[in-house]
Structure 1
Amino acid sequence: MVLFATHFLAFLFLFPVGIRRLIFSLSLYLQNPSQFTSKAWYFSGPKWKNGDMYALLLALPIASFSHIYLFFAISGHPNYRFSFLAQSLLIFIFWALLVLISLKESLDLYVIPESFVFILCGIAFVIEYYMNGQGILGLGGVAYELLGGLALVCAACCLYLSISPSAFFADFLLSSGLVLKAVWVLQVGMSLYTDAFSLKGCEKMAVSRGNREIDVKCELEEDKLRGVALTNLLFVVHTALVLFMSFSLLGLLHRHRSNRSREVTGPLLSQIGSSEGIVMNPLPIFEIE
């Protein structure tokens, strides 16, 4: 249950960040597609609207120290213990990135280019890939391998945005990738570390004392093969649902913006604007600094 709790907390951290980034990046792109510029974090005014950033700045250090406590408190297989230490290091790295982004915005540190922040984010995702699912083989290894692949996709998007910040498709893929990482890490936690959602014919994640490896114990080889196929199918379903949600959100924001544009640029307002020499522009959906 402790390992499932860590996966659930990762979902709580990643999912709001991914959804928020997706909404703000789509809104900024719809304002003026030709002048779109991606940012490591989309700040909005007034500052109280960025409460999620400040909540993460407080919550991530607590989560990091909690994983260190679990590393010293839990006895058993070394891979279980050191997984908490690796997760603590990853959480600390992403917390340090949030601190850098926050200082850059609040102190107007323009000497730190946005491309440099994206490079650091890409390096952090690469570190996550190498630390992800160490020592886990078999069915569990397949689930963590897919999770590591998402980390590589996010890393590639960050590195590409550091070179071409106007690449909307990379920003869209990064935002959707964060959402998919969130839902998939929750699925991994439920499939591997709970009895209620474990795969048919297989148990929770177990430790093989003979070869000192971690694997999911299945009664038959057919159960294991079926579990691998079902894991891949679940990943495809999650990917399709996240992409459908992302494109649906794009359509809804575009429709909402079109409706507001027609309201602002109606015939009456156009006459008023022309008579007073005022150029009427569509209102943005979000105020982004």
Structure 2
Amino acid sequence: MASLATHFSGFVLLFPVGLRRLLCSSSLYLKNPSLYRAKTWYFSEPKWKNLDLYTLIVALPIASFSEIFLFLAFSGHPTYRFAFFQQSATIFLFWLLLLLIVGRESLDPLHIDEGFVFVLTAIAFFVEYSVIGKGISGLGGAMYDMLGALTLACAFSSLYLSIRPRSFFAEFFLSSGLVFKGTWMLQLGLSLYTDTFGLKGCKKMSVWPNDSENAEFKCDLEEDGLRGLAVMTLLFIAHAIGVLVLSFVLFGWLARNCNWRCGEASGPLLQQLQSEHQHVLMRATSQEIELE
């Protein structure tokens, strides 16, 4: 949470992942709603199409070590050192989660249930929520609280999917939440850490605050701070409406154009779901025969 580059990197990682997840889950649901089942990750048939996954596997440990470097740099500020250490641990937790998902898909020697992976995903989001905006107070803290609310939405969606994996609405909220988090992180980076896109009457946050225990997004007048909070609230609502419209437009476009649907709507995943569905039907039929 220390600079525009950090927020832009978060946008580059979160937005494509959320958009691709929304595309693949919608495609799978439109193919056959009765067979729909949420996946921890929507793998594509050609390995090179999983570029978002490979990028995260490489980028997350680099980001984690970068946070450790900042942790060591704040020798005189225990508050910031602890905050950067927590952020590094959170990023590392998400990286371990990705490795678990890859191992489950390729090897799965322990036959790990997808519900368990969704529970771990929810825990990772809850841990992320606990460190968002750490050491930031004032108007900047209020802006990061909005980001924390999106993280909680993703956490509860993951937790619900661990119980009801066939709930498309929970998957829709999770995917849209990731897209929303990406766009809002970019907005925070532009509004808090730049002069060009900053709020009127307010100074950009310093990357290396040395004058106080907590970083603060300072405004010249109290009226400027209130106006800035109102502007950011309106921007948050605008982002929410934009993401919602994008999601519905994408869903409607996929419903009308079958040829553009994600590859997850066919192939091994669909065959697996069909076989599971047939197995359930056969078991239900046998139980009815026994009852008769």
TM norm. shorter chain > 0.5: yes
Once residues 233 and 89 of structure 2 are traced to their aligned partners in structure 1, the CA distance between those partners, rounded to angstroms, is 29
Decide whether the 8 Å contact of 2:4 with 2:189 is kept in 1. Answer: yes
Spell out the pairing of 1:202-281 with structure 2 (5 A cutoff): 202-205=202-205, 207=209, 209=211, 212-257=213-258
Shift, 1:80, TM fit: 4.1
Decide whether the 8 Å contact of 1:4 with 1:193 is kept in 2. Answer: yes
Name the counterpart of 1:55. Answer: 55
Decide whether the 8 Å contact of 2:71 with 2:85 is kept in 1. Answer: yes
Instruction: Find the residue that maps to 1:93 and give its secondary structure.
Output: helix
Residue identity over aligned pairs, in percent, reads 56
Once residues 59 and 153 of structure 1 are traced to their aligned partners in structure 2, the CA distance between those partners, rounded to angstroms, is 24
Name the counterpart of 1:149. Answer: 149
Instruction: Find the residue that maps to 1:202 and give its secondary structure.
Output: coil
Higher relative contact order (CA 8 A, sep 6+): 2
Once residues 260 and 92 of structure 1 are traced to their aligned partners in structure 2, the CA distance between those partners, rounded to angstroms, is 35
Unaligned runs of 5+ in 1: 262-282
Once residues 220 and 231 of structure 2 are traced to their aligned partners in structure 1, the CA distance between those partners, rounded to angstroms, is 16
Once residues 239 and 68 of structure 1 are traced to their aligned partners in structure 2, the CA distance between those partners, rounded to angstroms, is 33
Instruction: Find the residue that maps to 1:200 and give its secondary structure.
Output: coil
Spell out the pairing of 1:54-203 with structure 2 (5 A cutoff): 54-73=54-73, 77-109=77-109, 111-203=111-203
Shift, 1:260, TM fit: 8.8
Instruction: Find the residue that maps to 1:133 and give its secondary structure.
Output: coil
* CA distance 1:237–1:111, change in 2 (3 Å): same
Decide whether the 8 Å contact of 1:208 with 1:215 is kept in 2. Answer: no
Once residues 246 and 120 of structure 1 are traced to their aligned partners in structure 2, the CA distance between those partners, rounded to angstroms, is 26
Shift, 1:59, TM fit: 1.7
Shift, 1:226, TM fit: 0.3
Shift, 1:231, TM fit: 0.9
Output one character per residue of 1:100-132: Cα deviation in whole Å (capped at 9) or x when no partner.
Answer: 000000014462000000000000000111111
* CA distance 1:159–1:182, change in 2 (3 Å): same
Q: What is the aligned-residue RMSD (CA, Å)?
A: 2.3
Once residues 209 and 96 of structure 1 are traced to their aligned partners in structure 2, the CA distance between those partners, rounded to angstroms, is 36
Once residues 264 and 10 of structure 2 are traced to their aligned partners in structure 1, the CA distance between those partners, rounded to angstroms, is 32
Shift, 1:56, TM fit: 1.5
Name the counterpart of 1:279. Answer: none
Decide whether the 8 Å contact of 2:202 with 2:220 is kept in 1. Answer: yes
Once residues 260 and 19 of structure 2 are traced to their aligned partners in structure 1, the CA distance between those partners, rounded to angstroms, is 23
Decide whether the 8 Å contact of 1:147 with 1:184 is kept in 2. Answer: yes
Decide whether the 8 Å contact of 2:93 with 2:124 is kept in 1. Answer: yes
Once residues 3 and 244 of structure 1 are traced to their aligned partners in structure 2, the CA distance between those partners, rounded to angstroms, is 29
Once residues 148 and 2 of structure 2 are traced to their aligned partners in structure 1, the CA distance between those partners, rounded to angstroms, is 21
Spell out the pairing of 1:2-17 with structure 2 (5 A cutoff): 3-17=3-17
Once residues 260 and 175 of structure 2 are traced to their aligned partners in structure 1, the CA distance between those partners, rounded to angstroms, is 25
